[in-house]
Amino acid sequence: MTAQLAARGILVITGTGTGVGKTVVTAAIAALARSRGERVAVIKPAQTGVGTDVPDAETIRLLSGVTDTHELARFPDPLSPETAARTAGLPPLDMRAAAEYISGLAESRDLVLVEGAGGLLVRYDRDGSTIADLAGALDAPAVVVAAAGLGTLNHTALTLEALAARKIISAGVVVGSWPRHPGLAELANLTDLEVLAGRPLAGMLPEGSGQLGRTEFLAIARAGLGPHLGGQLR
């Protein structure tokens, strides 16, 4: 991590939408930090779809070896956190309490990774609180995980604009799943995503990374993430 990000101690991983690879990117950052001997915690403020998919925290444990993982709320249906809570008749996540909990974790860890649900502006409670609000409350930078293919430029531009409007530092754009056989759109997007971000890509993880064993996954993480996220991508 760069001195700027490491000094904050908290990094939010968000995305342009669901299914773009946030959990694998979170696991990759966690794996690299663990390999350096850092005390790493990973928190999923709200896990939805419990019982239908492997929980994100479990995937992160399997891939990275980081066992210091936390969930603050769980909801059965694979919906946005606020909708999942409302549908299940459960109280939504208390975002103020979440910010306090994460700040407490950061006091005894070198790095706390916070993985959001869905995209940056997905609602977590009836007041419309989002992972962007949580990042703002924590004064934490955010990594934006983006898809590789057609449509990603608009989604990424909107996400980066929303971060900038809230004065949240962008820690860069990571392509969460780079296809084995990229087409013209994917190859062209590499240049255009860097233009949108105003810097080189912060990372690119190959398709299928989440199916690897821990040793191979660490090697992929090191090769696929940029230096400020602990990797060696240039």
233 found inside a domain: no
User: Active site includes 44?
Assistant: yes
Confidence of residue 8 (pLDDT cuts 50, 70, 90): low
Average pLDDT over residues 34-49: 96
150 found inside a domain: yes
Q: Which range marks the domain in which residue 187 is found?
A: 3-226
pLDDT at 6: 41
Confidence of residue 42 (pLDDT cuts 50, 70, 90): very high
Q: Are 166 and 137 in contact (CB under 8 A)?
A: no
Average pLDDT over residues 197-216: 96
156 found inside a domain: yes
The pTM score is 0.94
Confidence of residue 7 (pLDDT cuts 50, 70, 90): very low
pLDDT tens track for 52-62? 777 889 999 99
pLDDT at 194: 96
84 found inside a domain: yes
Average pLDDT over residues 138-147: 97
Question: Tell me, what CATH number does 133's domain have?
Answer: 3.40.50.300
pLDDT at 154: 97
232 found inside a domain: no
Average pLDDT over residues 147-153: 96
171 found inside a domain: yes
* Domain total of the chain: 1
Nearest to 12 by CA among 34, 48, 45: 45
The one catalytic residue among 8, 22, 34, 44: 44
46 found inside a domain: yes
Given a cut of 90, is residue 96 above it in pLDDT?
yes
pLDDT at 95: 94
What integer best gives the mean pLDDT of the chain?
A: 94
Given a cut of 50, is residue 41 above it in pLDDT?
yes
